[in-house]
Amino acid sequence: MTYRIEIGLKRGVPDARGRGTATRSTSALQLPVKSIQTRTIYQLDARLSRTELETVREAFTDPVIEIAAIGRLRPPPFDWLIEVGFKPGVTDNVGRTARIALQDVLARPLAEDEAVYTAIQYFVRGTAGRRKTEDGEEEEKQTSNIQHPTSNVECRIADSEQDPTAYSLQSTASPPLTRGQIEHLAKDLLA
């Protein structure tokens, strides 16, 4: 069975990773990125009881500064959600370390087919509104999968006012980013 644990910072805790990414993105894209908040994602592909899963969630979370959920946390307001994870077969060192930690927490070895994968979510706030093409038509909404040798990057337009647990929904407004800008941002996140 596959389980997802999302870990984010508590309200009021500065997100240094997000702030650094926002600074780099604003500089690289020449767009006014207002803010970026990040989350760490653990995907556990293992046979776990509900009690074991809760124990793992607690062990992977720093209770002083972080909140976590099995499944999905309620997202912060955002215009774009970008999730970056490794492609199958690419070494995920954080995932490998998390697998060892998982075995320690469970006090049992994992089977060969059981694994832990990691990803980072970037909740991007930027300029809002629709973008017009040269012929005056509004751009289409985009969901992009950026190809990268080692990583899967999913960029989605999303409206956090809709179902806050479903990140694959489409927004009613397109953000002012072109595919080229999305690709540039994704490459910056992978750097």
Q: pLDDT tens for residues 41-76?
A: 999 999 999 999 999 999 999 999 999 999 999 988
Please state the φ and ψ torsions of residue 84, each to the nearest 5 degrees.
-115, 120
pTM: 0.72
CB 123 within 8 A of CB 92: no
- What is the band of 180 on the pLDDT scale with cuts at 50, 70, 90? low
pLDDT band at 165 (very low <50, low <70, confident <90, very high): very low
Helix, strand, coil content of the chain in percent (nearest 5): 25, 30, 45
Higher-confidence residue of 3 and 91: namely 3
- Average pLDDT score over residue span 4-15: 96
Task: Kindly report the length of the chain.
Answer: 191
Q: Is the pLDDT of residue 167 over 50?
A: no
Cα 6 from Cα 40, distance rounded (Å): 6
Predicted confidence at residue 41, as pLDDT, reads 95
What's residue 23's pLDDT? 85
d(CA 85, CA 91): 11
Higher pLDDT, 76 or 128: 76
